Structure 1
Amino acid sequence: MDVIVIGGGIVGVATAYQLRAAGHRVCVVERHATVAQGATYGHGGIVLPTPLDAWFGPTFMDARRGARSGVVYRPGLNSSARRFARQLSRLQAPEAFREQWLRLRPLVELSREVIASIAGGFHLDFEQRAGLLHVVRDPREWEQAQSAFDLLREFEMHHHVLSAAECAELEHSVPAEPSFAGGALFEHEYTANCPLFTKLVKQVLDEQGDVQFLFGRAVDAIRLEGHRAAVELAPAEGQRESKREVDVMSCDAIVVAAGAGSIALLERFGLSLPLHAVRMLALTAPIAYEECAPHLTVVDSARRVSMTRMNQRIRVAGAAVLQSERELAKPLAEPLAEAGSALLAQATHDWIPGAAKISAAHAWEGVRLLSPDGLPCVGGTAHPRLFANFGHGPAGWGLACGSAKVVADLISGAAPLVPPETLAALRVERFAN
């Protein structure tokens, strides 16, 4: 089959890889000049989420906590962002958290197998670094995290719960003073360079053939007919729209993997989805003092800020800016950008002081699409030639590799390697129920 994948981030490139492996001919359409230029570019590095990496903790998204919540919260009264925040709050109860993880876990494990197969099969080096150390400052936050620890024990996920002294002894960059509640070590989980992995997979596809990349072109609309599908391309840069014919590419199937841009494409089909785009911020700073640099990835668990060493730099990522859809269409206001950068800098100062030269940091901001139930949109739609693969959120870029395998199996007519209840929980139509 001829398949068009809309989006050249980690999700789109991983989808193209799986489709090509299944024997399909693929064209990836990307509005930027190359792959991994959108939300993929600024990812914090955590490859696969544990329950402690889940987006919806009991303290996260709590506006009353201010900067301690990890969110620069500016939704405005009666806005779509405020409504979305209320929907997220429903997942804070331990039982709702457990049900969410039960649905997500099979996709996590499939993703683990797929990444290992790709990395091992092509001997890819994408700055993998083993070991995640989640740390919690406040005793009350530590108590609230116990529902996640219960899940870790229930599902026999390998981890070690540590005292503050044990955390400081294990990771020399974490100071024992001021005192903190404790932490959890995941020695077999790891971080890696998401944009580098994406570019390496593209290189593999270039060498294998049967995958075309069309850069610098955005998709204006999707056309669906009985036996064929097509996309309408926006004018190329420098091309006057008034003096051109509509560029149309036909295919047998379309995969929408355009991140935050996916919603507008599907809305033109009458498919209205309650997902919300959130700005995410990151700082990439040179190492200030080698003796202070962490050898593990340190995660401020309450604020969901990750601090990862990537060669001679530190990537500090988190600081979600929750805004209305109208505000998201504008450049980020300077006070909000400053507040987000301050949140990231403070986490660095708190947990790995002296490791990063924040004054020389490169600031990044991007938009990631989140769903109100914490699960991505993966699978078919009401139309048999249209497929979805978006809304993975910030919890782990490796989920893209598992969801790509699910989509490729569905397009190929094969049974996906996740249970039916997970597949049903991921489908786009779940929001219509």
Structure 2
Amino acid sequence: MDVIVIGGGIVGVATAYQLHAAGHRVCVIERHATVAQGATYGHGGAVLPTPLDVWFGPTFMKTARAPRGGIVYKPGFDSATRRFMQRLARLAEHDAFCAQYRRLKPLVDVARETMEAIETRLGLDFEQTSGVLHVVRHARDWEEAQSALDLLREFEVRHHVLSADECGEIEHSVPTDPAFAGGVLFQQERMANCPLFTKLLKQSLEDESGVHFKFGRAVATLRLDNARAAVELAPAEGERSSSRDVDVVSADAIVVAAGAGSLALIERSGLRLPLHPARLFALTAPIAYEERAPHLTVVDTTKRITMTRANQRVRVAGAALVQPERDVAKPPAEPLAKAATAALAQATHDWIPGAARISAAHAWDGIKLLSPDGLPVVGQALHPRLFLNFGHGPAGWGLACGSAKVIADLVSGTAPGVPPDTLAALRADRFVD
């Protein structure tokens, strides 16, 4: 089959890889000049999410008695933004959180297997490092983290629960004064360079026949009928539009994997989903003092802020800004951007003091889609020839490799390697009341 993949981020490139591996011919359409230029570029680096990493649950969405963890929340009078956050807050309850993570876990397993297969076949080096230390400041947050620890034990995920002193012994950059509640060490979980992985995967596809990348073009409209699927491209930069000369690419199927740009595209085809864009921030700062630089990745569990050493730099990522959709589309107001980057800087001061020269940091921000139930949208929608693959959020770019495999199986008419309840929990029609 001929398949169009819309989007050249990690999700789109991973989907193209799996479709090609399944024997399909693929055309990837990306509005930027190359891959990994949007949200993929600023990814924090966590490869696969544990129950402590997902962007839902009791440690992430705080209760009414406590401020929201790592979110700068500015809904204004926008009811849609408030409804989104209220829906996400339902997963703070223990049973709801555990049930939702159990639905996600099979996709995590497929993602891990798929990434191992890619690494074995291609021998890629994308700056992988092992060892992630989650730290929790307050006793009440540690109590709320017990739901995640229960899931770690249930799924026999290798981890070590540590006291504050033990955290300091294992990771010398973490100060034990002032005292904090404790931490969880994952020695086998990895951090890596997501943009580099995406570019290496793209290079491997360019060496194969049957894969074509079309850069610098945005998709304006989807065309779907019984016999064929097609996309209508917006004019290239500098070109005049003409109704008599419309650039159309046809195929047997379309996969929408355009990140935050996916929502407007599928809305024009008649499908509105309650996902919400959020602006994520990152700082990349030079090492200040070598002896204070972390050798493990340190994660502020409650705020979902990740601090990772990358060569002679420290990358700090997180601090989601949630505001009305119309405001997310614009550059953030200076006070809000300062509040978000201040949260990142404060995390380095709290957990790895002296490690990063924040005054010389390079700042980045970009838009990611968050789902009101914490799960991505993966599967068929609206039409037998249309497939969706987006909404993975900030936690674990390796999920893209798992969902790409699911999409390739669905396009090929093969039963995906996840159970039916997980597949149903990922479908777009789960949001239909």
TM over 0.5: yes
Offset at 1:59? 4.6
**1:8 match:** 8
SS state of the match for residue 32, structure 1? Answer: coil
Contact 1:111 1:398 in 2 (8 A): yes
Contact 2:9 2:198 in 1 (8 A): yes
Unaligned runs of 5+ in 1: none
Offset at 1:56? 1.5
**2:421 match:** 421
Distance change >3 Å, CA 61–CA 151, structure 1 → 2: closer
Does 307-316 or 162-171 show the bigger shift?
307-316
**2:379 match:** 379
**1:141 match:** 141
Contact 1:75 1:322 in 2 (8 A): yes
Query: How many Å separate the matches in 2 of 1:210 and 1:357?
Result: 46
Offset at 1:78? 3.9
Distance change >3 Å, CA 229–CA 334, structure 1 → 2: same
Q: How does 1:33-432 map to 2 (within 5 A)?
A: 33-62=33-62, 69-242=69-242, 245-432=245-432
Query: How many Å separate the matches in 2 of 1:78 and 1:221?
Result: 28
Deviations, residues 228-273 of structure 1 (Å, cap 9, x unaligned): 0000101101112258721111110000000111111111121111
SS state of the match for residue 369, structure 1? Answer: strand
Whichever residue aligns with residue 187 of structure 1, its letter is Q
**2:28 match:** 28
Offset at 1:156? 1.3
Offset at 1:310? 1.4
Query: How many Å separate the matches in 2 of 1:208 and 1:387?
Result: 24
SS state of the match for residue 125, structure 1? Answer: coil
Contact 1:4 1:253 in 2 (8 A): yes
Contact 1:67 1:343 in 2 (8 A): no
Whichever residue aligns with residue 113 of structure 2, its letter is E
SS state of the match for residue 407, structure 1? Answer: helix
Contact 1:283 1:363 in 2 (8 A): yes
Whichever residue aligns with residue 275 of structure 1, its letter is L
Query: How many Å separate the matches in 2 of 1:68 and 1:358?
Result: 24
Query: How many Å separate the matches in 1 of 2:128 and 2:45?
Result: 9
Offset at 1:140? 1.1
Whichever residue aligns with residue 233 of structure 2, its letter is L
Deviations, residues 28-62 of structure 1 (Å, cap 9, x unaligned): 00001100000000000000000000111325344
Query: How many Å separate the matches in 2 of 1:63 and 1:78?
Result: 21
Whichever residue aligns with residue 236 of structure 2, its letter is A
> Matched residues, percent identical?
71
SS state of the match for residue 52, structure 1? Answer: coil
Deviations, residues 179-211 of structure 1 (Å, cap 9, x unaligned): 111000011111000000000000100112211
The TM-score with structure 2 as length reference comes to 0.98
Offset at 1:69? 2.1
Offset at 1:66? 8.2
Deviations, residues 205-234 of structure 1 (Å, cap 9, x unaligned): 011221111111000010001010000101
Distance change >3 Å, CA 59–CA 405, structure 1 → 2: closer
Offset at 1:176? 1.3
Whichever residue aligns with residue 172 of structure 2, its letter is H
Does 64-73 or 44-53 show the bigger shift?
64-73
Does 56-65 or 23-32 show the bigger shift?
56-65
**Aligned positions, number:** 433
Whichever residue aligns with residue 265 of structure 1, its letter is L
Contact 2:72 2:322 in 1 (8 A): yes
Whichever residue aligns with residue 403 of structure 2, its letter is S
Distance change >3 Å, CA 68–CA 346, structure 1 → 2: farther
Contact 1:26 1:212 in 2 (8 A): yes
Deviations, residues 78-98 of structure 1 (Å, cap 9, x unaligned): 432111110101110010011
Contact 2:126 2:196 in 1 (8 A): yes
Offset at 1:65? 7.8
Query: How many Å separate the matches in 2 of 1:344 and 1:245?
Result: 48
Contact 1:378 1:390 in 2 (8 A): yes
Contact 1:219 1:233 in 2 (8 A): yes
Unaligned runs of 5+ in 2: none
Distance change >3 Å, CA 343–CA 63, structure 1 → 2: farther
Contact 1:107 1:418 in 2 (8 A): yes
SS state of the match for residue 383, structure 2? Answer: coil
The TM-score with structure 1 as length reference comes to 0.98
Query: How many Å separate the matches in 1 of 2:208 and 2:65?
Result: 51
